[in-house]
Structures are given as structure tokens and as C-alpha cells.
């Protein structure tokens, strides 16, 4: 360890958060997923907490060698003006499975009878490098991290972190699949289109504005479902309409029913882009189902409404990526929010497996 005060220590202190670990002294290994489990079956409360006790990949070579389909990864940043703690979200979601052993041997979905782990190769890819005091610097590394997964044809499912990560995640999708060729199905209580939040452009209420301004994803390719509460105001709503955003408020769901709204949202998501990305803010759920989130908003979806939406989008349309954001475990000692976020990912995996099977 460098001694405090010398140049090596200063460089370590400045760039250590994003400097890859030197593995030159480690034994050589063949590329591929690394199984971190000691035993064939481990209780949920034991072992290394990857998502579902799944194998770990450390680089694109591991993904290629393992013929991986989906990589679960984390982007633990938190710039929310509401409840703090979203940086702990990835860890909480990975550890939310409290009773099923791992790694998953048989987990058939009780509606579809499809076991996603029999159909897909799913791994944990660890977390992006994040600066604990700079969301701005973290966004650069998150974008590269997500891009390196997508570039090898693997579907990244990113665990947030706050919703600011939609900016680098969406930009990474555009990097790989082309600007204007990716639509975003945005499930959220809030529009997240503000110019800035308390003077900051890299906030959890600004990512859609940034992606539109940067011309990564056109406004008409953002499809929003579940908006409610007291945001956006009239000025912001006018900007959204002028930029072509298609927003489905809870009032529309109450009036016409969830099935009809999702029919519209699916059609809109396929209107132009070839690819779909899901951005799930857990506050789209009513606080009864997601109390541990940065900005809870009463009157939201139930899990029985949300889960079939995710499964349907992934099975009927297919996705090139997804994110689950704004889990703040410190605000929910009952772990309801993390559990429901975990189950949302399982629904997406089931839908992707159905898509692979043509179901």
C-alpha cells in the first residue's frame, strides 16, 4: 500500500475508484463465467451474493466464452433530492432472495411454466466503477460499462442506483444500436424531463431531457406509463408534447384499464425503433409495494399489474436492455421494495426466455 503523501498514493486516491485491479500476479484462467459457489446448493443467506448465486463474469471475453444471454450488473449512484440510499440498491436487490437456494436449479414461472434459467444463460457482471462523490464522473464509466456488455450481444439488466443512470444507459444503447433506433418504455410516477434539479444537470429528474438533447433517443421514442402526482407542471408538459413524448398517466389507466394502455404503449414502442429498452423506476408502484424509494408517490400500480407488463414486453417485443432504479433499502426495513424489484427482474427474464422459445 502506498504511503500517504507520495505521488503513488495521490494517484491512487484520485483514480483508484476507476482503475482496474492488477491481476497480473494471479493464476491464468480460461475466459468464461466464474462459479463462486462452494457447494451444489447454498441457502439464500450464505455464500457470495451475486444475483441468484449466478456465476460472475469480469470482462467481455468471459461473456463471449460463456455464450451469455443476459448480464445482471449494478450502477450504484445516488443523487436523489428525496430519500437517500439508492446507491445501496444493487446490493439489496441481489440479496432480496431470502428463501430460494442458489444457484437456481429449477424455477419454473407459475403462470407460464417457463424456467428462464433452463432457456437462457444468465450471469452477474458486477458493478460499474462509480465515484462516491461525483455522479458526473460516474456517468462516464457507467456508459462504457453498459456498452461493453451490449457490444457482445448480451442484454444488460442494470440495477440502480438512482434514475440519473438512464442517461448513460440510454446513451450506451444508442452507441451500440444506433441513435434513434432504440425506444424506451419508461415506467415511472414522474416524467424525469426537467432541465435541471437544484442547479444540477446530472439528476434523477433530468435523464430524458439529456438523452433528447444529445440526440441519442428522440422524444417520440420515449413511452411513459404510470405518471401521477404533481409533476410535470404545465410548462414541462408543454415541452414534453412539443418533443413528441407519449405519456400515459394513471388517470388513463383508471379510465381505460391497464390492458388497453399497454396495447397502446407496445404499438408506440414499435413505431419506428427496431429495439426496446425498459426503464423501470420502482416508484411506478404504489408505496404499499415500494416504500423504499427516493420519491414515493401514492396511487400507483400494484405488483399484479406491473409483473405481467414486464413479462409481456420481453416476450412479445424482446428487449436489448433494461434498468431497475430507485430502490432505497434504508427506507424499507421490511425489504418489500427490494423483493419486488428482484421479482420484476425475474419477470423480465421469464419474458426473454418466452421470446427465445417463441412462446
Q: Note the pLDDT of residue 359.
A: 86
Q: Residue 168's domain spans which residues?
A: 53-357
Buried/exposed 57-84: b ≥16 CB within 10 Å, e otherwise: bbebebbeebebbbbbbbbbbbbbebbe
Alpha-carbon separation of residue 199 from 202, 203, 206 (angstroms): 9, 9, 11
Q: Does residue 42 lie in a domain region?
A: no
Entry pTM: 0.95
**Residue 232 CA, distance from chain mean position:** 23
Q: Does residue 185 lie in a domain region?
A: yes
pLDDT digits (tens, 9 = 90+) for 214-230: 999 999 999 999 999 99
Q: Does residue 3 lie in a domain region?
A: no
Q: Does residue 84 lie in a domain region?
A: yes
Q: Note the pLDDT of residue 154.
A: 98
**pLDDT, the chain, mean:** 93
CATH of the domain at 224: 3.40.800.10
What secondary structure letter does DSSP report for 358? T
State how many domains the chain has. Answer: 1
Q: Does residue 261 lie in a domain region?
A: yes
pLDDT digits (tens, 9 = 90+) for 78-127: 987 788 899 999 999 999 998 889 998 889 999 999 999 999 999 999 99
pLDDT digits (tens, 9 = 90+) for 154-208: 999 999 999 999 999 999 999 999 999 999 999 999 999 988 777 777 888 889 9
Q: Does residue 279 lie in a domain region?
A: yes
Q: Note the pLDDT of residue 3.
A: 46
Q: Does residue 10 lie in a domain region?
A: no
Q: Does residue 350 lie in a domain region?
A: yes
Residue 50 and residue 37: Cα distance in Å, rounded? 10
Half-sphere exposure of 27 (CA within 13 A, CB side): 2
Amino acid at each position: 500500500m502506498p504511503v500517504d503523501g507520495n505521488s503513488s498514493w495521490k494517484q491512487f486516491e484520485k483514480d483508484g475508484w476507476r482503475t482496474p485491479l492488477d491481476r497480473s500476479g494471479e493464476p491464468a484462467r480460461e475466459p468464461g463465467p466464474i462459479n463462486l459457489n462452494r457447494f451444489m446448493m447454498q441457502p439464500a443467506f450464505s455464500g457470495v451474493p451475486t444475483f441468484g448465486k449466478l456465476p460472475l463474469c469480469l470482462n467481455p471475453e468471459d461473456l463471449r466464452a460463456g455464450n451469455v444471454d443476459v448480464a445482471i450488473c449494478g450502477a450504484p449512484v445516488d443523487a436523489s433530492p428525496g430519500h437517500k440510499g439508492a446507491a445501496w440498491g444493487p446490493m439489496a436487490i441481489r440479496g432480496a432472495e431470502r428463501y430460494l437456494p442458489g444457484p437456481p436449479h429449477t424455477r419454473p414461472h407459475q403462470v407460464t411454466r417457463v424456467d428462464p434459467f433452463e432457456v437462457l444463460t444468465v450471469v452477474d457482471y458486477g458493478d460499474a466503477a462509480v465515484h462516491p462523490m461525483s455522479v458526473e464522473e460516474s456517468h462516464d464509466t457507467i456508459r462504457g460499462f453498459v456498452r461493453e456488455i451490449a457490444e457482445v450481444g448480451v442484454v444488460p439488466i442494470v440495477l440502480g442506483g438512482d434514475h440519473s443512470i438512464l442517461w448513460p444507459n440510454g446513451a450506451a444503447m444508442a452507441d451500440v444500436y444506433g441513435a434513434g433506433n432504440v425506444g424506451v418504455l419508461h415506467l415511472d410516477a414522474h416524467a424525469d424531463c426537467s432541465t435541471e434539479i437544484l442547479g444540477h444537470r446530472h439528476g434523477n429528474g433530468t435523464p430524458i431531457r439529456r438523452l433528447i438533447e444529445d440526440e441519442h433517443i428522440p422524444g417520440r421514442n420515449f413511452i411513459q406509463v404510470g405518471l401521477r402526482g404533481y409533476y410535470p407542471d404545465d410548462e414541462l408538459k408543454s415541452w414534453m408534447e412539443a418533443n413528441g413524448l407519449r405519456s400515459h398517466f394513471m388517470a388513463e389507466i383508471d379510465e381505460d384499464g391497464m390492458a388497453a394502455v399497454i396495447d397502446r404503449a407496445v404499438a408506440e414502442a414499435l413505431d419506428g425503433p427496431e429495439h426496446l429498452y425498459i426503464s423501470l423506476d420502482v416508484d411506478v408502484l404504489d408505496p404499499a409495494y415500494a416504500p423504499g424509494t427516493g420519491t414515493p408517490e401514492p396511487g400507483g400500480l400494484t405488483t399484479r399489474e406491473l409483473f405481467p407488463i414486464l413479462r409481456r414486453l420481453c416476450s412479445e417485443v424482446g428487449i436489448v436492455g433494461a434498468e431497475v432504479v430507485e430502490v432505497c433499502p434504508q427506507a424499507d426495513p421490511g425489504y418489500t421494495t427490494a423483493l419486488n424489484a428482484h421479482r420484476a427482474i425475474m419477470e423480465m427474464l421469464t419474458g426473454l426466455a418466452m421470446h427465445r422459445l417463441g412462446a
